[in-house]
């Protein structure tokens, strides 16, 4: 009887460890797949004060990975690229320096890590409800997935200012 219980316990532990290893591999794959921040971004409207509603098209081998990457890419785009086109007035990037990402690489590595601080600024997204035509197979091994994302830009700006990453709106060049 004890031998049977031990065998079951060992089997459960092996399955649990395999499952967590597979999950960790999946997260690494997700980050690797989206590491280069390859995306397109456009404004689809302005939400409540300080919030942008944007559509982000992300590229990945798996549509599910691209959906999660869209949140990261939305915040990245607001910080480094700005938003042009779509239904809004052009929004400049929060970063004034073109080299900010390289200059503050340690900060942004943690900031954009899976489950990183970037996610606290994403207030809504259409994770599971992708519009018709927003998933396109662009090559044999890659998908382009469009996701609507709302980002609290006011809170993002305040957080980056408090961390000393960007200068406040009132500061001089």
Per-residue pLDDT band for 159 (boundaries 50, 70, 90) equals very high
β-strands 135-139, 51-60 pairing: unpaired
Q: Which residues pair with 147 in a beta bridge?
A: 56
The strand pairing partners of 125, in sequence order, are 149
pLDDT at residue 19 tops 60: no
Cα–Cα distance measured from residue 104 to residue 38, given in angstroms and rounded to the nearest whole number = 20
- Give every CB contact of residue 73 below 8 A, 6+ residues apart in sequence: 34, 37, 39, 41, 56, 58
- Which residues, including other chains, have CB under 8 Å from residue 16's CB and lie 6 or more apart? none
pLDDT above 70 covers a percentage of the chain that reads 74
* In the chain, % of residues over pLDDT 90: 40
- Check whether 20 has a pLDDT greater than 70: no
Q: Under 8 Å CB-to-CB from 137, ≥6 apart: which residues? A: 143, 144
CA dihedral 144, 60, 72, 46 (to 10 degrees): 0
pLDDT for res 74: 95
pLDDT at 62: 86
- Chain centroid, CA 101 distance in Å: 15
pLDDT of residue 135: 84
pLDDT, tens digit, for every residue of 73-128?
999 999 999 998 778 888 899 999 989 999 999 999 999 998 899 999 998 777 66
Q: Tell the residue number behind the tokens 């609290």, with chain if given.
A: 152
């Amino acid at each position: 009887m004890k031998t049977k219980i031990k065998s079951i316990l060992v089997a459960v532990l092996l399955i649990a460890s395999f499952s967590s290893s597979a999950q960790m591999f999946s997260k690494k794959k997700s980050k690797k797949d989206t590491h280069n921040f390859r995306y397109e971004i456009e404004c689809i409207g302005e939400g409540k004060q300080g919030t942008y509603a944007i559509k982000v098209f992300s590229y990945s081998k798996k549509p599910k990975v691209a959906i999660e990457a869209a949140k990261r890419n939305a915040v990245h785009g607001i910080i480094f690229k700005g938003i042009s086109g779509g239904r809004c007035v052009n929004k400049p990037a929060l970063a004034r320096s073109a080299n900010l990402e390289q200059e503050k690489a340690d900060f942004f590595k943690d900031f954009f890590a899976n489950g990183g601080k970037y996610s606290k600024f994403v207030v809504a997204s259409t994770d599971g409800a992708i519009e018709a035509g927003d998933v396109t197979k662009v090559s044999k091994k890659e998908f382009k997935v469009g996701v609507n994302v709302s980002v609290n830009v006011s809170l993002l700006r305040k957080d980056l200012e408090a961390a000393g990453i960007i200068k406040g709106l009132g500061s001089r060049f």
